Amino acid sequence: MVRYYRHCFKENSAGENRVGHLVENTVYEKRRSRRSDQMAARRHWTRPTARRRVEAWNAMTIAADIAASSDGGYPLQLIHTTTVDVFRTICTTGQLVPQMCDVMEAKLTYFFYGRPAYRPGPVQVNNRNRDKRPVVMLFSKEKIPKCAQIYPCDTGAHRRGMYEPHLADVPFADLDCASVAQAERRIVARYFGSNPEYFYGEPLQKLSPEPASAVARAFHALLRSEREGECDDRLLSIEMIGADAFALHEAASHLVFPDFLQADKDVAAVLEGWSKQGVELVPYRPQGLTSAGRTVEQLFPRVGELQGL
């Protein structure tokens, strides 16, 4: 109301109206002052109201929806996918080091729970560049630094608006489930029912009980929606984010890599050392002319087998 009267004061050239508006503005200021005094006097009972509003808001999140779910079946591995050229750097340092993320604007390391969902390059663009072939690393959650953020889908796609209209204007905070124990397993149980259904991207068609949260209802509708050509299966993949570097050989259970790396003297020596420390090496033969994204899709069954799926 103050802005309204000031706006009229600037644009109205009639002197009598200008005076009238200034009087009204003064009256409003007095009323606002009395209102502030009243609210200050009643502050002791408005604080519980504010807490109830916060509780109601929290109940709208994905975390609230999965909190009562079971923790599902046995835990799956955390999977980080990269390309051969980046993997050579990892072999040099021996560590998985957080990299700058444009979405979160921080140095982070990304994993997908159980699924090699990340595509290091578009599926439809083929090349013969061996350095662009994928390397898939499987880690035990208990052996890596704690993941500070856990989301039920890919945050990058969400930031780019690829999950609209279902998740339009839904902030990351409403999707983050890191506050819930065993959140990744509860998401699987709540929205997919079992590890195999999650791994192969088959969400439940009906949830029981129905979500009380509007965000959870929207997310479940998104999982079941027909979005051909708009986004890949990262929509169906749980994203887990860490912020600390760690030694690869201390946490990795398996390394799935192109077999030609076994002929690379520098890399082969590192792989042999990791193998002696308990990391299982899983070489594969890549196509000569293909894309990294397509190769990852072809590796899905093998990665499933490594996890007992």
For the stretch 187-246, pLDDT in tens is: 999 999 999 999 999 999 999 999 988 999 999 999 998 766 667 788 999 999 999 999
How many CA atoms lie less than 13 Å away from 309 in the CB half-sphere?
Answer: 22
Question: Between 267 and 123, whose confidence is greater?
Answer: 267
Strand-pair category, 95-96 with 246-247: antiparallel
| pLDDT above 50 (res 57) | no
| Domain extent listing, the chain | 2-58, 71-306
What CA–CA distances, in Å, run from 114 to 40, 89, 157, 158, 254?
Answer: 53, 24, 19, 20, 13
| pLDDT above 90 (res 180) | yes
Contact 207, 220 (CB under 8 A): yes
| pLDDT above 70 (res 59) | no
> DSSP readout, 213-282?
-HHHHHHHHHHHS--TTT--GGGGS-EEEE-S-EEHHHHEEEEEEEGGGGG-HHHHHHHHHHHHTTPEEE
Contact 70, 186 (CB under 8 A): yes
pLDDT of residue 268: 96
| pLDDT above 60 (res 68) | yes
Phi, psi of 194 (to 5 degrees): -160, 165
| pLDDT above 70 (res 46) | no
**Kind and range of the H or E run holding 51:** helix 43-58
pLDDT of residue 122: 81
pLDDT of residue 230: 67
d(C-alpha 13, C-alpha 210), whole Å: 60
Copy the structure tokens of residue 23: 């009087």
Alpha carbon distance, N-terminus to C-terminus of the chain: 63
Contact 124, 291 (CB under 8 A): yes
Q: Is 41 exposed, middle or buried (0-12, 13-18, 19+ CB in 10 A)?
A: exposed
| pLDDT above 90 (res 37) | no
Query: Is the N-terminal amide bond of 165 cis, ω within 30° of 0?
Result: yes
Contact 60, 169 (CB under 8 A): no
15 confidence band (pLDDT: 50, 70, 90): very low
How many secondary structure helices (H) and strands (E) does the chain include? 13, 10
Identify which of 22-31, 68-77, 273-282 has the greatest average pLDDT: 273-282
Average predicted confidence (pLDDT) for the chain: 83
For the stretch 122-170, pLDDT in tens is: 888 899 999 999 999 999 999 999 999 999 999 999 999 999 999 999 9
